[in-house]
Structure 1
């Protein structure tokens, strides 16, 4: 059962990481289209800027799970390294708990915010603003497996020795 959950978590992290990369590529292409239409054709495609902005917002929130999984979020290694080895793992546990609470708050309030923006429309695209705001709760929810997998590694002591047991 635990192996299946781990595999599902790893798959979710890979999926969101790849989706974020694809959205970033799309945003790059759309910015190029914006530049071409503005400076070559003399008639800017305003919609491309809005869609590119949305793609960047979504890619930022989607990649959070992969960043947590890889341990590339802002670390507190310095503070942790000042503590005795037995306490260091408790610091990791506390940070994991606080991170999960923060992600839960993002999910909850992100859903509320997207709900409030449901009736607002993006003029150039004729879509709801909720499409953009939904990136917050969705990305936070998708980040949870990355946090849990990273924490599992810390509990098993399989992170780099200098990260947990200095």
Structure 2
């Protein structure tokens, strides 16, 4: 393995680990906020105005960060019948065509997510009193991380498929 390939692999591992940890933290924050909301509303009879907004924001970030981890681990639902039936060069062509389509969708997510984050930068999220742009920023950040993960998975597949880990 060349020195450049080793650096790219190290960067890929670091980004994947950071995205995975951040997505798990977002899930914990969303679950905690939602639990607190239920307790505050139905047990204490004091509805909290910020918990729903925080849970929603955390879930958006969790999904966008988790997408990159899922792409890298090749854990998305896929149909393997056609590539297995094609084999050889047609299967490789299908693989690279699929990658191009995925990258195109992610590029659109990046572009429009960035545009929306900039458009709503002056608006605040009720309950949290932070810019709505924080929510929309998850889209371009997640898209960039997902592009890196998709290319990395295409060039260097993960050591074991998800079915082998179950």
What's the TM-score once normalised by structure 2's chain length? Answer: 0.88
Q: What is the aligned partner in structure 1 of residue 8 from structure 2?
A: 5
Distance 1:130 1:143 in 2: 20
| Structure 1 gaps, min length 5 | 161-166
Separation (CA, whole Å) in 1 of partners of 2:77 and 2:110: 20
Deviation digits for residues 81-130 of structure 1 (CA, Å, limit 9, x no counterpart): 23233211111111112211211111111100111111222122211111
Distance 1:63 1:123 in 2: 26
Within 5 Å, give how 1:97-136 maps onto structure 2: 97-136=100-139
Shift of the 158–11 alpha-carbon distance from structure 1 to 2, 3 Å rule, reads closer
Q: How many residues align?
A: 158
The CA deviation at 1:79 is 2.5
Alignment of 1:50-69 (within 5 A): 50-69=53-72
Q: Which runs of 5 or more residues in structure 2 are unaligned? A: 162-166
Alignment of 1:68-107 (within 5 A): 68-107=71-110
**Cα distance change on mapping 1:158 and 1:9 into 2, 3 Å:** closer
C-alpha contact (below 8 Å) 1:24/1:55 kept by paired residues: yes
| Structure 1 residues 158 and 51: CA distance shift in structure 2, 3 A | closer
Aligned to 2:38: 35
CA RMSD in angstroms, aligned pairs only: 1.8
| Offset, 1:73 | 1.7
Query: Deviating runs (4+, > 3 A) in structure 1?
Result: 157-160
